[in-house]
Each structure stands twice: as structure tokens, then as C-alpha cells.
Structure 1
Amino acid sequence: MSKTPETWDVAVIGGGNAALCAAMTAAEAGARVIILETAPKPYRGGNSRHTRNFRCMHHGPLGPLVDSYTEEEYLADLMKVTDGKTDVALARLAIRSSEECLPWMQDHGVRFQPSLSGTLSLARTNAFFLGGGKGLVNAYYRTADRLGVHVEYEAAVTHLEMDGDRIGHIDYTQDGQTRRIIPKSVVVASGGFQADTDWLARAWGPAAKNFLIRGTPYNRGIVLADLLDQGVEQVGDPKQCHAVAIDGRAPKYDGGIVTRLDCVPFSIVVNKNAERFYDEGEDVWPKRYAIWGRLVAAQPDQVGYVIIDAKSLELFMPSVFLPIKADTLEGLAGQMGLPPDRLRATVDDFNAACGDTSGFHPTELDGVSTTGITPPKTNWARPITEPPFYGYSLRTGVTFTYLGLKVDENAQCSVGNQPITNLWAAGETMAGSILGQGYLAGFGMTIGTVFGRIAGKEAAAHAN
């Protein structure tokens, strides 16, 4: 152990959106705040640097958002994707608080831009950051610096010492040394455990070794495991996570938002045996993109393949990787390692099941569907007939896991239903308190912003 332990009013563990919201809020309340960020400075920000929007309730036009998006509609969207597996009281708290968050974000340096087009259909519900998540993260760090927040990078927290009903001290490693601080209040905002593929495999089985990790490689769940081992109340299923189907050529870690594929609604998706396995047109993409990671995970070798034709190529935002291209379906199958005869039969069966396509509308549910085929395609079902043909490989890309710290409406953690007097949690590390399964585009940023602000306020009040 090096140096005499420093004393801080509020220690925030993590360096992404939730951590920054907590740190800025606590500093504005007069607290002396330190952020312990595991990542090096160029990679600060956790998964937040890969985000691009924030889902926001509003009663009328607000910033870049058009029309209105009510609490009840927002909750209905959430209940649909989670199949009702959510803490409704905490969900409503997040939703109601989101409206005041947008102007607060602007006051703290975030700038917004008009919504992106294509399959997103989010102009009414989601506010897009100018410069993406990296722009938001950098703006918040600038504001935090002006507020006097101290940041330690490459500061990997290893242990939070429980002392009765409170956290007594925090140990972390930096520059090859173990250091200790003594905080009056602690906010844990250090994400899930998704970057620890051994932990994923314990939950999912060997299939998890084939998963890709969309976000930061630094979210390994070390703080989460340390607290759970000490009896801090947990929430969530270790198998539940925000997992999407991403380009199979993405790197193992940190591929980010650009590796996501938005072409599924205009495609058919097959497994390695060239068989379709789910309705590609079930709903608009922001409400269904997050189920496809789990769907692909259930297929042989945890892979899938998107097949589209020329008339659909311009209907979605492109991936960072160019699609595979061929003049014939058989040629495409050969390049993708699929059985050509089987792919041809699958496409022919799908084409024969397509009906009248005159009502096709790429940005809304259009009811252009198949008949007499399983699985059906309930929207955007057009025959795949126009060469050249294009394909993408799909792999499961995990964004964050839902096993986490259970919190109350004040973002406070507990042991045996007794509050830990100086411990709060925000962001992905407590998102399982609201997300039992499934995901809604932009909602992770809502959770992080709302509960980060709550945790920062409560932590500062305790310290003061």
C-alpha cells in the first residue's frame, strides 16, 4: 500500500455517462469528488462513447424532438420489449425524469442534432447527440473539470471494504501500486461483467465464447463481484443482457455502434443451414433490434446470415464493413459458406409467400407480409429477386449484462433489505433493476442519466 489514504466526500467508480452525471451533480452540491476510471484517458467513457441517442419523454416539441411522447406510451414500449419484466415504479421514475434531463444535458455541454433516418424511426422518441457518445463524454468531462471533479485514469478498483452498514474504504491499483481512499459516499457506476467472457460462459455455457463484445473491454464486473460477494443485494438474471446481432467481422471487443446492422427488416435471415428462424419484420427496428443477439446465439455455431437484394441496399444505414456481393444467390452462398441449393430453396419459398407489395413503406409498419410460410414475415416482405444480391454475417454482440446491484428509488444499495448508508449505484451496474429482459433503443442512457443524477445528489447530501 502506497501513501496515506486520501479522504474524499464522494468517490465515483466508473467513467461513463452515469458516473459523470453523478460526479457533476455531487460537485454542484458542494462535494469534493473523485472519479476512478479503469480505462486509459483515450478510452474513457465506458460504453457511453459508443452511444448516439437518449430516449426522452416529452409533452410537446423539445430540443430536437418532434410532437410528444407520453409517459404511458413510453412505458408501453418498455413493457413490450421486456415482456413485463420490469420494476414499474423505477421504470416510471426513469421515464418521468427523462424530460427534465434533456435541458440539463444541454446545460452541461451536450449538443443535439436532428435524428438519423433509415430504419431508426426515432425523431419523436430519441434525441441524438452531436458527435455521438464520444461528443457527450468529452463534453461532460470538460464540465466536470470546470466543477473541480478530480479524475484518476487507469485506476482499477479491486475492493470496497464493507464496515458494518457502510463502505469504509476503496482499494485500487494504478501504476503497479495498490492505493486506498476513504470516501464519505460512494457511487458505483462501473458497468456490467460482459467483457469477462469466462463469467459469460458460466451463465450461458460454452456458446458465450463465440460472442463478441460491442463495448469497452474494461467492464469486467470486478466491483460488481466484490460487492455481491459481500452480500450486497443483487438483481437480474446473469443470462439476460442487451445483445444485438452485429457484423460477424467485428473485432472481439470495442467494435461499437458502427458494427450494428440495421438491414434485418428488409432481409431474410438464415442460419448456417440456410434456414430462416424468426420473423424479420415483427416490429420497427428500435423495438426489436435487441432481440436478435439472443436469436443468433441460439443458432448453430452462434452465427446468422442476412440476405438482401439490390432494391433494399439503400434503405438502412450501412455498416462499417461492405456487404458481400454476388450476381447470383448461389454465388453469394458460396462466398458466405452456405449450402447453395438450400439457400436457393429458402429464398424461393419466401418469394412465393410474398403477396401484394404496393403498400411497402420502409419507415413504418406497413403490413406487407407473407402467407403460408413459417416463420412468417409480418412487415416489409418483398421478394428477393433483384441482382446483385448482398449478404452479411451476424454474430451476437453483447453490450451490457443485467445482473447487477439492486437499488431503490434513491439509487441506494442494501444488504438484507437494510440500506448501506453511503453506497449508491447508477447506470448499467443497476440497470437490471428496471430491465428484466429485452431492450429499448436509447433507454440505457436514460437509466444512466436519471439514476446518475439521483445518486450524485444523494451521495453529496450524505457527505455534507
Structure 2
Amino acid sequence: MQKEYDIVVIGGGNAALCAAMTAAEAGVSVVILESAPRAYRGGNSRHTRNFRCMHSEPMNVLTDSYSEEEFFDDLMKVTKGKTDEKLAKLVISNTQESYSWMQAHGVRFQPSLSGTLSLSRTNAFFMGGGKSLVNAYYRTAENLGVDIFYDAPVTGVTLQDNKASTVIVNHQGQQHTLTPKCVVVASGGFQADIDWLTDAWGPSARNFLIRGTPYNRGVVLKSLLDQGAESVGDPTQCHAVAIDGRSPQYDGGIVTRLDCVPFSVVVNKHGERFYDEGEDVWPKRYAIWGRLVADQPDQVGYVIIDAKSINLFMPSVFPPIKADSLEELAEKMGLDPTALTSTVDTFNAACQAGQFHPTELDGLSTQNLAPPKTNWARPIDTPPFYGYSLKTGVTFTYLGLKVDENAQVQGKEGVIENLWAAGETMAGSILGQGYLAGFGMSIGTVFGRIAGREAAKYAKR
């Protein structure tokens, strides 16, 4: 690490790689500092599956069309208007061109997967998943001359005279001080720091699982915020989904998510329902269930389905708990059999006759039931019965660095002259709350490319 670089990119996931490749292609020297070991490189990107993309007509693996207006409307629905509209539209309008750029840099796509998350029109799936995308980008970055250091956690970025002056990094037992012309921060959120999560959420956060990388601890984010970089987003807002309660504390990834909620009843530890399981199609609602479970006693929930629904969603990584009766299922799951059967009986009585359509809103709803189930409401009455436990799985936090349309980080005195940010560390500018499937990759790709382009321009002055 004795070499002087034009640009230091902090982080090793999608946004960091997009920034590094773009800058290297502009003819400047670039180094990536990835805190994870090589085998775990890529941050949360290695757990992803798809990229949300606008298009006016069928395009490669994407079917039909998905207009810029519809994309924006979908985002507004899940964020309930809590977004920087200018930045959101910037991301959306650049996704179609980014699709081709991704292919040119090694990414291969495949048609949409079947199951609850059927997204053939809106999302392009990565062949081989996020890890293949990450590996392709690293190959391309290396071919472009980007230097890469693994096991290289950055402990701080020093701001002086409204500029990033030094980057402090530990590598192979030594501390190094780098003095690049500019810095791109793409090192994710703070979700793996459970103490920080607890400060934001309270004691309930101790029961959360971190479905993404254990290396996103917010060290650089905190360093910059402490020095006056402007923050954006709410520390209690995050991409949090309901995952299998048997998942590991860290790094379980996307396979730990359960997609059976729309075809179930979900109860808390007292056997009581607490939310509408059929509120909307799953890609627009799966990311609210982490917060819903977090608000329940002991931060736990339980999914109950029957034999009619067991094959309607993508298979789970852990097999469901199975029983021939609801009473037996309750006992196996540690629930009160009387309470659970009473809840299910009440739900079944509220179900109405109608046509069931598992892949679209079917209006098959309950009547005179609180909370209601507004779609896919069928009686849970066909043995065997199946159950899963649910816990809150945090993917990434929304507190981050405030940026402008050039991805430049904002400070107390305006933009910080040579500091850019991309990916999860600035996504709170666009995601005030809620989440839209595949949109994190859209933000990281578009803003990674912008950050790389703008940093390279600055470095070449």
C-alpha cells in the first residue's frame, strides 16, 4: 500500500465495483479497500438476485413493459412518499441503460424465477445470483487495472478544509495512511453493529438477525458523520424482512426469507393475528414484515399454512414444521393450542367464496375480521398443516450520507469537494421507508457509476 492512488473506493460490493470500473475506464488509478476476506467479498451484493429495470418494450429476459411512471408510482407506494423525488427519478431513468452496461461488464441474466416473487416484467435476474455478478465485476475490475485489497477495513476518513484528506486502513497487521485525490464511500450501512442498532431501536434489536454481511458495521459512516458530513434517513428505518427463525445471526442471505406469508395466517407468540397477510403482491410487501415482527412480543411471529398452499411459494431453506392437526402443530411450535385453533377457526369463518389466483391480486378477502385479509384468503383446513417461526432479518439500514445528483457528499459548508458516496450508505436519500424488490441494486448501480464518473473527472483536473 505504498502506491499513491487517484481514487480510493471504500467497500467491495456492487456500488463500489461500479464506481471503480467506471473510474478506471476514465483513465485514473483506483484501489478498492474491502474489509471482508476474499471468500466473503461483495458485501450484501453477493446475496442479491435481481435488478429492477424500466423498459418500454420486451427487452432480453424482461417481458412486456415497465414504464418510468409505473416504476416511480411503485416506489412512492412502498415509501409512502418519503423519498427524494429528484434522486429517485434519476435512478429509475438510468436503469435501462445500466442493464446494457452491466452486460458489457460481465453480468449475465436469466428469465424470472417462478413462485411468489414472480417478477418477469419488472426485474432482471442474475444468472448464478449475486455472487456471480460480484465475481464478474471483480474480474473486469482487475482487467482494468484496479488494485484490490481484502481484509482491509478502513477505520476512518479524515476531513480537512471541506475535503477528504486521508484514508486510514488496517491491512496485514499494519495501519496505513492513504492520501488520494478523492474518495468514494460504498461501504454499506451499520446493521452488523448490534450495539448501534440497539441504540436506535431499543433492546428489541438484540433479537434481530442480520441476513447480510457481518462486515457492514458503519465505521466509515460514523467517522464522517462525526466530522460534519450531513446525514439522511432515519436510524430506525431499514430493509428488514421476516426470515426463518432458525437462521444464523449473520450472513444467512436471501435463502432465509420466507415467501409463504400471502397464503398463510401469521400469529404472534399468543396465537393472535396482527396484520393483513394479503395486503398486496409479495414484491411490494415482503420488506414490511421485518418491522411488523419486530413490534410483536419477543420479536417473533409464526406462519401457519395448510396442504393447499405448501407448493405455492419458493421452497424454504429449512423444512417447515409439519403436523396432522392444528393442535399438534401448536405444541410443536411452542404455541397455546387453544389460542391458535381459535384464531384459525375465526379466520376460516370469515373467508368468502371466490376465485383464487396465487400470482395476482384476487380480491378473495375475509369479511368482518380484524385485521382483515384482503387477498388470497382461503380457509386453513386441509391437513397436514405446516408452520415456520419468523424473526426480523435486517438487510441494511437507511441512515446514511446525504448526496446530490452527482453522488457528492454534503457537508455543513456545501458539498465536500472530493468525496462521493454510492449504494446502501446513501440509499436513505431515496428509501425513506419501505422497499421495492431489486431496487437496492438499481440505486447501487446507478449511483456507483455516477460516483466513479464524477470522481474521475475531479482526479484528472
Which one of 247, 253, 256 corresponds to residue 253 of structure 2?
256
TM-score by length of structure 1 reads 0.98
Structure 2: unaligned runs, 5 residues or longer: none
| Deviation, structure 1 residue 175 | 1.5
TM-score by length of structure 2 reads 0.99
Which one of 48, 65, 89 corresponds to residue 51 of structure 1?
48
| Counterpart for residue 449 of structure 2 | 453
SS of structure 2 residue aligned to 1:312: coil
Root-mean-square deviation (CA, aligned residues, Å) is 0.7
Q: Which runs of 4+ in 1 moved over 3 A?
A: none
| Counterpart for residue 34 of structure 1 | 31
Structure 1: unaligned runs, 5 residues or longer: none
| Structure 2 counterparts to residues 100-119 of structure 1, below 5 A | 100-119=97-116
Q: What is the CA deviation profile of residues 164-220 of structure 1, one whole-angstrom value per residue up to 9, with x for unaligned ones?
A: 021111011112211111111110000000000000000000000000000000000
The range that moved more, 112-121 or 42-51, is 112-121
Code of the aligned partner of 1:254 = D
Code of the aligned partner of 1:231 = G
Q: Percent identity?
A: 73
Instruction: Output the CA distance in 1 between the equivalents of 2:315 and 2:459.
Output: 48
| Counterpart for residue 17 of structure 1 | 14
| Deviation, structure 1 residue 417 | 4.6
Say whether residues 1:120 and 2:114 are aligned partners: no
Which one of 346, 357, 362 corresponds to residue 358 of structure 2?
362
SS of structure 1 residue aligned to 2:179: strand
- Contact persistence 2:35–2:154 (CA under 8 A): yes
| Counterpart for residue 409 of structure 1 | 405
| Counterpart for residue 392 of structure 1 | 388
| Deviation, structure 1 residue 83 | 0.5
Instruction: Output the CA distance in 1 between the equivalents of 2:211 and 2:416.
Output: 33
The range that moved more, 411-420 or 324-333, is 411-420
Instruction: Output the CA distance in 2 between the equivalents of 1:381 and 1:415.
Output: 50
| Counterpart for residue 373 of structure 1 | 369
- Contact persistence 1:51–1:133 (CA under 8 A): yes
Code of the aligned partner of 2:122 = T
Code of the aligned partner of 1:290 = A
Instruction: Output the CA distance in 2 between the equivalents of 1:165 and 1:6.
Output: 24
- Contact persistence 2:162–2:413 (CA under 8 A): no
Q: What is the CA deviation profile of residues 350-396 of structure 1, one whole-angstrom value per residue up to 9, with x for unaligned ones?
A: 00000113x10000000011001100000000000000000000000
| Counterpart for residue 164 of structure 1 | 161
Which one of 8, 15, 21 corresponds to residue 5 of structure 2?
8
| Counterpart for residue 346 of structure 2 | 349
Code of the aligned partner of 1:362 = P
| Structure 2 counterparts to residues 72-151 of structure 1, below 5 A | 72-151=69-148
- Contact persistence 1:47–1:215 (CA under 8 A): yes
Code of the aligned partner of 2:421 = A
Number of residue equivalences: 460
Instruction: Output the CA distance in 2 between the equivalents of 1:63 and 1:463.
Output: 36
Q: What is the CA deviation profile of residues 24-67 of structure 1, one whole-angstrom value per residue up to 9, with x for unaligned ones?
A: 00000001000000000000000000000000011111121011
| Structure 2 counterparts to residues 104-253 of structure 1, below 5 A | 104-253=101-250
| Deviation, structure 1 residue 121 | 2.3
- Contact persistence 1:324–1:335 (CA under 8 A): yes
SS of structure 2 residue aligned to 1:311: coil
